[in-house]
Amino acid sequence: MQRTTLEKQLNFLREIDRLKSVMRQSPLLDKSRKENSAEHSWHLAMYALVLSEYANGPVNVYRVIQMLLLHDVVEVDVGDFPIHGKVRGELQAEQEFKAAVRLFGLLPLSQRDMFLDLWQEFERAETEDAKFAKALDRFQPLLINIFTGGGTWTENGVSLEQVISRYGPVIKRGAPELWDICERWVTQHFAGRGAGKVDALPGDGI
């Protein structure tokens, strides 16, 4: 029997509940445990809501939030690919695209197409909305690593040069003012000042 629109939508929502069980390498700021991918997506949506004025160009905040809520849904099928891991490039892109087609394919056609288009727009990072969303996706884990004394950088033996090359271009392209702050944090961190000793944000806020 053919499923109704509501049945398809609820099936999708049940399926993505599994995202709460996908663990990332990044710790929570209190270092009590690792964050999961659902928490990461929610936190990025909040970053977009709060920090949209620092985008490099005009952005539609609603679309940015949509992208950030959708961008890691594929991890339900493929898990997390850490930025400092060894599996990157074409293999990752192929696996994630297959997951996107399956997961968004659970939805009614109109939502399937809209969500898949938003996911692909984020991946291509060509529009101002997607560039900003991508920048936040790099900014949040960088901030976590700084304020947990190294986080995944320490665990993976990541160097200053690797941090600059892996985070810098993406953040600078979408949110250059945020990258200015990151450069100061990163330089101070690798100079040995450690957690809690980096300079605060200007005026106690960005």
Q: pLDDT digit string (tens) for 154-181?
A: 999 999 999 999 999 999 999 999 999 9
Q: How confident is the model at residue 90 (pLDDT cuts 50, 70, 90)?
A: confident
Provide mean pLDDT across the span 137-152.
96
Tell me how far apart the alpha carbons of residues 186 and 14 are, in angstroms, rounded to a whole number. Answer: 39
φ, ψ dihedrals at 152, nearest 5°: -70, -25
Q: Which of 85-94, 106-115, 122-131, 144-153 has the weakest average pLDDT?
A: 85-94
Domain boundaries, the chain: 5-204
- pLDDT: is 96 or 80 the higher one? 96
- Backbone Cα Rg of the chain: 18
Q: What is the mean pLDDT of the chain?
A: 92
What is the pLDDT, as a whole number, of residue 192?
A: 84
- pLDDT: is 83 or 87 the higher one? 83
What are the C-alpha distances in Å from 131 to residues 11, 54, 116, 136, 193? Answer: 31, 12, 17, 9, 31
Provide mean pLDDT across the span 60-89.
88
Provide mean pLDDT across the span 111-118.
98
Q: Give domain 5-204's CATH number out of 3.40.50.1860, 3.30.420.10, 1.20.120.530, 1.10.3210.10.
A: 1.10.3210.10
DSSP 125: T
Provide mean pLDDT across the span 14-29.
96
pTM: 0.90
pLDDT at 30 over 70: yes
Provide mean pLDDT across the span 128-152.
97
Q: How confident is the model at residue 204 (pLDDT cuts 50, 70, 90)?
A: very low
Which residues are CB-contacts of 36 (< 8 A; sequence separation ≥ 6)? Answer: 19, 20, 21, 22, 23, 24
